[in-house]
């Protein structure tokens, strides 16, 4: 019997009939032109993700392009042709299409506005308190944008009331301290949202589907909570909203807005389930619903009427098709690693995904995967994620592929990355790669090391080197002692420490995760490092914030700014601390996490002797999963 009956049951939002319960929620792509027009890249990206989905909601767009480069703008009718092309393309895929419209980004905007004069908890920026003229101007622009949404042929409109932007800031008691009619109790704080709803309804007319995306919980004490969400949703319903899409998290709890690995799957269903009991309109919910089994379960349990699958469809645009075809076990799952959000935050380049290198290059990948012009004999050296991805795609393109891995299992560092608690999502990608390899024609040989001089032994036409990295060790006296171990021995389980005193040397993200892992096992852990901050290279602030919180919760001592590491002795490590004082840290074991260097033992002469050679992943430069997978894939596409 088909196990996903509820997920594929038709549903309805106002007058709009949807073929199933799956929504691709709004996710900014930075694929529009600088001025805010639709591009071919954007259309191809959405076509890929519309397959099998009931409703696609196009990313947050703006009534004005000012301050929002590469985001869709709705400021004049000249934009309509591009938008109509997008809608037509998605209709052809059988999906219904809405678009999300933002009013203003609040304190995160180029011209910051805010309900009250309070600093943003992350940026410290204050917004000008919104006055009556601001409201009048925003509502006028919003109403005009809503009219264009309808003219462009969208099946409905979604109002952005989330992510700590202006509408959500008005709703939250943490940000809205006004004493006029827009502030006070939950009903008064909802007034700005209701104004936006009313102007939208006036612009699009009766019967046109209007969905409100609601930041339904601040996730901190004293913030907007589930009770507030229930009152607010009842008001929305009275004002003609057809459905509410539940998300949580705001500036104070940003880690909930696109939940990281440490938060549980389906993490917002507590709120959506409670709201759904109290209102008659349909409810949708987002938040790590990255598995069809979970999606089906929360629908059956009455936690929601629709499920948003955002990053899940970024990672695998065939998520829905695979589910329909009974191949749910083959879905390439989102890891919730937030490389997508990191890219969005720090650059205007198109969105990326650590496990799906084809994001934003849908056409190029589809065409390359039709097959190679000439079948080649390809040797891939190294069975980490870079080598595995290269081998899988080279095989899919019709090449004759061998993969040599020197250890007794595939996966490289992807075997270690999921070990610290909260990171188990990463394991799903290794499972995916293993399955794909098993079903491919790739000839995998384990315990086979390619040594210098051996690259041409099997007479390959092309070689992909993906040999990864080796630990970097600072050579100080005592380094060879028995009480010194590498982080990989700890994470692999080769060494199992419990209730001991441990110094972890090195506080990049690996050192921090190892310290957390050891502390959770009851060890007394001290983290030592020369820098002034732990995990400096963890770029995405939410990930760093959670990692540091875990260290604190597990009482890991952090010793910053170590000036010199002098000697490892039997009972600990001697060093010069940040004050320049000689100190000795007692420890039963010293765990090294002092970084890594590329492992690439082949000489330039040997590499030059191979007519077609590519290098991918950490063997080029030690980085992260995204780069390994992307470079492995790109090598395969060039073959």
Ligand X SMILES: Cc1cc2nc3c(=O)[nH]c(=O)nc-3n(C[C@H](O)[C@H](O)[C@H](O)COP(=O)(O)OP(=O)(O)OC[C@H]3O[C@@H](n4cnc5c(N)ncnc54)[C@H](O)[C@@H]3O)c2cc1C
Ligand Y SMILES: Cc1cc2nc3c(=O)[nH]c(=O)nc-3n(C[C@H](O)[C@H](O)[C@H](O)COP(=O)(O)O)c2cc1C
Query: Which contacts qualify for 364-372: CB closer than 8 Å, 24 or more apart?
Result: 364/637, 365/637, 368/397, 368/637, 369/393, 369/396, 369/397, 371/397, 371/398, 372/397, 372/398, 372/399, 372/639
When asked if residue 289 is in the footprint of ligand Y (CB under 6 A), the reply is yes
Considering the complex, what minimum distance in angstroms separates the CB of residue 384 from ligand X?
A: 2
Of the residues 25, 273, 360, 617, which one makes contact with ligand Y according to CB under 6 A: 25
Structure tokens at 291: 């598995």
**Site pattern 196..235 for ligand Y (x: CB under 6 A):** -----------------x----------------------
When asked if residue 382 is in the footprint of ligand X (CB under 6 A), the reply is yes
When asked if residue 407 is in the footprint of ligand X (CB under 6 A), the reply is yes
The answer to whether 165 is a known catalytic residue is: yes
By beta-carbon distance, which residue lies closest to ligand X? Answer: 384
Alpha carbon distance 142, 133 (integer Å): 14
CA dihedral (144, 147, 148, 154) positive or negative? positive
- Total site size for ligand X, rule CB under 6 A: 36
Among residues 185, 190, 227, the alpha carbon closest in space to that of 212 is found at: 190
When asked if residue 384 is in the footprint of ligand X (CB under 6 A), the reply is yes
When asked if residue 53 is in the footprint of ligand X (CB under 6 A), the reply is no
Strand partners, 320: none
DSSP string of 279-333, one letter each residue: -SS-EEE-SS--SHHHHHHHHHTTS-SEEE-SHHHHH-TTHHHHHHTT-GGG---
Q: For residue 188, count other CB atoms closer than 10 A to its CB.
A: 16
Q: How far is CA 131 from the centre of its chain?
A: 36
Q: How many helices (H) and strands (E) does the chain have?
A: 20, 27
When asked if residue 84 is in the footprint of ligand X (CB under 6 A), the reply is no
Q: Which of residues 494-553 bind ligand X (CB under 6 A)?
A: 510, 513
When asked if residue 628 is in the footprint of ligand X (CB under 6 A), the reply is yes
Of the residues 28, 32, 159, 556, which one makes contact with ligand Y according to CB under 6 A: 28
28 binds, among ligand X, ligand Y, none (CB under 5 to 8 A by kind): ligand Y
Contact between residue 209 and residue 242 where contact means Cβ atoms under 8 Å apart = yes
Contact between residue 74 and residue 145 where contact means Cβ atoms under 8 Å apart = yes
What phi and psi values does residue 308 have, to the nearest 5 degrees?
A: -90, 125
Alpha carbon distance 499, 516 (integer Å): 14
When asked if residue 436 is in the footprint of ligand Y (CB under 6 A), the reply is no
When asked if residue 291 is in the footprint of ligand Y (CB under 6 A), the reply is no
Residue with tokens 């080029």: 620
Considering the complex, what minimum distance in angstroms separates the CB of residue 413 from ligand X?
A: 4
Identity of the residue, 123 or 451, whose beta carbon is nearer to ligand X in the bound complex: 451
Q: Which of residues 95-114 bind ligand Y (CB under 6 A)?
A: 100
DSSP string of 108-121, one letter each residue: GSSS-EESSS---T
Q: Which CA distances in Å does 562 have to 125, 527, 583?
A: 34, 11, 10
Q: Which of 46, 165, 262, 540 is catalytic?
A: 165
Of the residues 156, 164, 350, 617, which one makes contact with ligand X according to CB under 6 A: 617
When asked if residue 138 is in the footprint of ligand Y (CB under 6 A), the reply is no
624 binds, among ligand Y, ligand X, none (CB under 5 to 8 A by kind): ligand X
Identity of the residue, 79 or 332, whose beta carbon is nearer to ligand X in the bound complex: 332
When asked if residue 258 is in the footprint of ligand Y (CB under 6 A), the reply is yes
Considering the complex, what minimum distance in angstroms separates the CB of residue 82 from ligand Y?
A: 18
Q: Which of residues 419-458 bind ligand X (CB under 6 A)?
A: 449-450
Q: Give, to the nearest 10 degrees, the angle between helix 541-553 and helix 509-520.
A: 30
Identity of the residue, 192 or 260, whose beta carbon is nearer to ligand X in the bound complex: 260
Alpha helix (H) ranges present in 369-498? 385-396, 427-439, 487-491
213 binds, among ligand X, ligand Y, none (CB under 5 to 8 A by kind): ligand Y
When asked if residue 143 is in the footprint of ligand Y (CB under 6 A), the reply is no
When asked if residue 340 is in the footprint of ligand X (CB under 6 A), the reply is no
Of the residues 59, 75, 425, 631, which one makes contact with ligand Y according to CB under 6 A: 59
- Using the contact rule CB under 6 A, the part of the chain among 102-110, 215-223, 355-363, 400-408 near ligand X is 400-408
Helix (H) or strand (E) holding 149: helix 132-151
When asked if residue 387 is in the footprint of ligand X (CB under 6 A), the reply is yes
- Using the contact rule CB under 6 A, the part of the chain among 176-184, 191-199, 336-344, 508-516 near ligand Y is 336-344
Contact between residue 311 and residue 331 where contact means Cβ atoms under 8 Å apart = no
When asked if residue 340 is in the footprint of ligand Y (CB under 6 A), the reply is yes
Structure tokens at 617: 């992943």
When asked if residue 288 is in the footprint of ligand Y (CB under 6 A), the reply is yes
340 binds, among ligand Y, ligand X, none (CB under 5 to 8 A by kind): ligand Y
When asked if residue 261 is in the footprint of ligand Y (CB under 6 A), the reply is no
Structure tokens at 221: 């004490």
Among residues 287, 303, 212, the alpha carbon closest in space to that of 247 is found at: 287
Alpha carbon distance 334, 341 (integer Å): 13
51 binds, among ligand X, ligand Y, none (CB under 5 to 8 A by kind): none
- Using the contact rule CB under 6 A, the part of the chain among 8-16, 19-27, 148-156, 428-436 near ligand Y is 19-27
Of the residues 406, 435, 545, 597, which one makes contact with ligand X according to CB under 6 A: 406
Range list of β-strands (E), 466-586: 469-471, 484-486, 501-505, 524-528, 557-559, 564-569, 572-576, 582-586
Identity of the residue, 82 or 383, whose beta carbon is nearer to ligand X in the bound complex: 383
When asked if residue 381 is in the footprint of ligand X (CB under 6 A), the reply is yes
- Using the contact rule CB under 6 A, the part of the chain among 22-30, 391-399, 428-436, 475-483 near ligand Y is 22-30
Q: How do 16-18 and 11-13 pair as beta strands?
A: antiparallel
When asked if residue 337 is in the footprint of ligand Y (CB under 6 A), the reply is no
Alpha carbon distance 154, 210 (integer Å): 11
Identity of the residue, 249 or 468, whose beta carbon is nearer to ligand Y in the bound complex: 249
Considering the complex, what minimum distance in angstroms separates the CB of residue 87 from ligand Y?
A: 18
When asked if residue 360 is in the footprint of ligand Y (CB under 6 A), the reply is no
59 binds, among ligand X, ligand Y, none (CB under 5 to 8 A by kind): ligand Y
Q: What angle do CA 296, 300, 303 make, to 5 degrees?
A: 95
Binding site for ligand Y (CB under 6 A): 25-28, 59-60, 100, 160, 162-163, 213, 247, 258-259, 286-289, 308-312, 340-341, 344, 351
Task: Kindly list the catalytic residues.
Answer: 165
Binding site for ligand X (CB under 6 A): 337, 354, 381-387, 404-407, 412-414, 416-417, 449-450, 466-469, 491, 510, 513, 599, 617-619, 623-626, 628
């Amino acid at each position: 019997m088909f196990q996903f009956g509820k997920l594929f049951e038709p549903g309805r939002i106002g007058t709009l009939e949807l073929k199933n319960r799956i929504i691709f929620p709004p996710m900014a792509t930075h694929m529009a032109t600088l001025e805010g027009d639709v591009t071919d890249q954007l259309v191809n990206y959405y076509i890929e993700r519309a397959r099998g989905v009931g409703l696609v909601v196009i990313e947050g767009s703006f009534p004005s392009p000012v301050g929002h480069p590469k985001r869709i703008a709705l400021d004049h009718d000249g934009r309509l042709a591009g938008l109509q092309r997008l809608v037509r393309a998605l209709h052809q895929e059988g999906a219904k299409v809405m678009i999300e419209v933002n009013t203003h980004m609040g304190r995160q905007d180029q011209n910051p506005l805010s309900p009250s004069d309070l600093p943003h908890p992350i940026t410290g920026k204050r917004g000008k308190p919104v006055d009556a003229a601001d409201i009048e101007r925003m509502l006028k622009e919003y109403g005009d944008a809503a009219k264009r949404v309808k003219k462009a042929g969208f099946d409905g409109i979604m109002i952005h009331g989330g992510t700590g932007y202006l509408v959500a800031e008005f709703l939250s008691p943490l940000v809205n301290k006004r004493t006029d009619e827009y502030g006070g109790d939950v009903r008064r704080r909802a007034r700005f949202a209701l104004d936006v709803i009313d102007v939208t309804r006036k612009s699009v007319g009766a019967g046109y589907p209007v969905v409100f995306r609601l930041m339904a919980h601040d996730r901190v004490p004293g913030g907007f909570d589930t009770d507030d969400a229930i009152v607010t949703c009842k008001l929305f319903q009275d004002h003609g909203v057809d459905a509410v899409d539940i998300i949580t998290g705001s500036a104070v709890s940003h880690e909930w807005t696109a939940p990281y690995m440490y938060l549980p799957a389906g993490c917002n269903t507590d709120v959506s389930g409670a709201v759904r009991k109290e209102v008659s309109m349909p409810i949708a919910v987002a938040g790590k619903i990255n598995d069809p089994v979970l999606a089906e379960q929360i629908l059956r349990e009455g936690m929601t009427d629709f499920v948003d699958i955002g990053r899940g469809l970024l990672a695998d645009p065939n998520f829905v098709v695979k589910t329909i075809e009974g191949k749910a076990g083959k879905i390439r799952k989102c890891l919730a690693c937030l490389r997508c959000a990191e890219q969005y935050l720090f650059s205007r380049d198109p969105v990326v995904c650590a496990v799906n290198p084809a994001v934003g290059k849908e056409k190029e990948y589809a065409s390359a995967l039709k097959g190679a012009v000439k079948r080649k004999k390809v040797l891939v050296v190294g069975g980490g994620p870079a080598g595995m991805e290269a081998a899988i795609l080279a095989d899919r393109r019709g090449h004759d592929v061998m993969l040599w891995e020197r250890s007794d299992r595939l996966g490289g560092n992807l075997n270690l990355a999921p070990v610290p608690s909260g990171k188990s999502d990463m394991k799903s990608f290794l499972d995916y790669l293993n399955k794909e390899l098993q079903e491919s024609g790739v000839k995998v040989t384990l315990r086979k090391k390619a040594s210098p001089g051996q690259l041409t032994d099997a007479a390959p036409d092309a070689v992909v080197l993906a040999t990864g990295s080796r630990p970097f060790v600072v050579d100080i006296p005592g380094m060879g002692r028995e009480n010194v171990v590498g982080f990989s021995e700890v994470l692999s389980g080769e060494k199992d420490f419990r209730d001991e005193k441990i110094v972890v040397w090195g506080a990049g993200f690996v050192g921090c995760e190892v310290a957390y892992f050891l502390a959770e096992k009851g060890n007394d852990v001290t983290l030592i490092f020369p820098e002034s901050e732990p995990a400096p290279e963890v770029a995405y602030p939410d990930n760093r914030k959670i990692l540091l919180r875990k260290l604190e919760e597990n009482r890991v001592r952090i010793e910053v700014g170590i000036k010199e590491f002098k000697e490892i002795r039997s009972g600990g490590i001697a060093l010069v601390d940040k004050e320049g004082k000689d100190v000795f840290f007692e420890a039963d074991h010293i765990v090294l996490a002092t970084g890594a260097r590329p492992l690439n033992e082949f000489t330039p002469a040997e590499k030059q002797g191979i007519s077609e050679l590519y290098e991918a992943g950490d063997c080029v430069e030690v980085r992260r999963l995204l780069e390994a997978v992307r470079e492995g894939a790109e090598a395969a596409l060039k073959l």
